[in-house]
Structure 1
Amino acid sequence: WPVYETCQELAIPIIAHSGLDNDHKGFTEPRAFANMLKAFPHLRMVVAHLGGAAWKQTLEIAQTFPNTYFDCCEIIEWTNSAHGPTDEQLAQMIIDIGPERVMMGSDFPWYDLDHSIDRVFSLPLLSQEQKEQIIGANAVDILGL
């Protein structure tokens, strides 16, 4: 995996799409990244969509690999849907991961940006400061901007 090796050496974070793939082979599920994360323990990896429809795997990856970070730009728009977490489950997952490891927009906002930001600010359980970090400051830290 020479690209991962180079990114690790140069401290360049990578972003990976995550979720359930249409053919159900598991290639984009968060647990599919485990072998790569083991091989490159200093590579900063952003798991987009907090795992998407495979969101239940996200916490396991976060707890096992401290070099993982997460983007909530898509999942924030479909909480309470058939495949998504409730607002409370999403907020609790962010707390369990560590709010400092979650950001918004690194995989580009899929929906109306203002609405997505409002959705973050409407999440329960998180402090105003944590929500503000998710909206901007965390990306600066995680992406090394």
Structure 2
Amino acid sequence: MTDADDITYLTRLRERLDLPGIIDIHTHFMPDQVLRKVWAYFDSAGPLVGREWPITYRTDEMVRLKTLRDFGVRGFTSLVYPHKPDMAAWLNEWTAEFAAHTPECLHTATFYPEHHAGSYVEAAIAAGARVFKAHIQVGHYHPGDPLLNPVWEQLQDSGIPTVIHCGSGPAPGDFTGPGPIAEVLRRFPRLRLIIAHMGMPEYSEFLDLAQDYPGVGFDTTMVWTDFSEADCPFPDTERGRLRYFSDRILFGSDFPNIPYSYGHSLYALERLELGDDWLRQVCYENAARMFDLS
């Protein structure tokens, strides 16, 4: 679909659901030089990608912001993630500034297992960070690394959620999967974790974790799209738990790094036929409640 087609479809969807907008908790805004390296990695179909992956919204930052606004997105994130030490604090400075001049953006921060992680996470929280991002696959670290103990403790005590890419899709890493996250939750059971991509492809195992830990939720990023269903189909046997966890599932898109149109991300949810109430919760209400955006 073209952007104009998406705008028409998304406008009609919002009107039907009587929503003031869409809240997308999985979008990427980051320093230009970092984002271009990310795009180059996708272009190379590197080992963490593993397949051809065209970037649909490869445009300048201001164009990308206008695109989201035109789509009716009224809240979004600037998910960043370090792949090495001494990078996270700098990224947090950038996201704080970005959020300060982008009203719809939830102030986002990140971290990495290093000796000073606790101090810059404390500083980010003091500066108003509302959501954190962790990427186990790209960072190549165990989430239970002792260097992260002060980070998890602060996030647990503050109640600030972390969007965490910990499933083994699109390609497994040494520390991906539900096992390492279960270790963290045993030590910090009140953590609020938003499992990115519904935990793809270990959907059932991460849903099991959510049964045991009320702070565990999910984002819908890329799940149920034609692109993902071809390789990592969501099991039909788990449809019932999508209803059960309807108050813990939040819409995410992975904009701009998606290989299809933005509207398809919403269409993929609509065609699940779980009802308008479920769509309202996922596309707006759950995030509005979590981040007090009402």
Which TM-score bucket, shorter chain as reference?
A: 0.7 to 0.9
Report the more deviating stretch, 71-80 or 35-44: 71-80
Q: What RMSD over aligned residues (CA atoms) do the two structures have, in Å? A: 2.3
Per the TM alignment, residue 18 of structure 1 is displaced from its structure 2 partner at its CA by 2.6
Residues 48, 143 of structure 1: alpha-carbon distance in 2 compared, 3 angstrom cutoff? farther
Structure 2 gaps of 5+ residues are: 1-148
Paired letter, 2:266: I
Give the structure 2 partner of residue 85 of structure 1: 234
Per the TM alignment, residue 24 of structure 1 is displaced from its structure 2 partner at its CA by 5.2
Paired letter, 1:31: G
Residues 60, 139 of structure 1: alpha-carbon distance in 2 compared, 3 angstrom cutoff? same
Matched, 1:114 2:263: yes
Q: Is the 8 A contact 1:11 1:43 kept in 2?
A: yes
The higher radius of gyration belongs to: 2
Per the TM alignment, residue 144 of structure 1 is displaced from its structure 2 partner at its CA by 4.6
CA distance, structure 1, for counterparts of residue 201 and residue 279 of structure 2: 22
Determine helix, strand or coil for the equivalent of 1:7: helix
Give the structure 1 partner of residue 209 of structure 2: 61
1:107-141 CA-to-partner distances (Å, cap 9, x unmatched) read 734533211111111113x1211112111111122
* 2:163 aligned residue (9, 12, 15): 15
Matched, 1:49 2:197: yes
Paired letter, 1:108: D
Paired letter, 2:243: I
CA distance, structure 1, for counterparts of residue 151 and residue 195 of structure 2: 17
Q: When the two structures are aligned, how many residues end up with a matched partner? A: 140
CA distance, structure 2, for counterparts of residue 144 and residue 18 of structure 1: 26
The ranges of structure 1 where at least 4 consecutive aligned residues each deviate by more than 6 angstroms after the TM superposition are: none
Give the structure 1 partner of residue 87 of structure 2: none
Percent identity reads 26
Structure 1 gaps of 5+ residues are: none
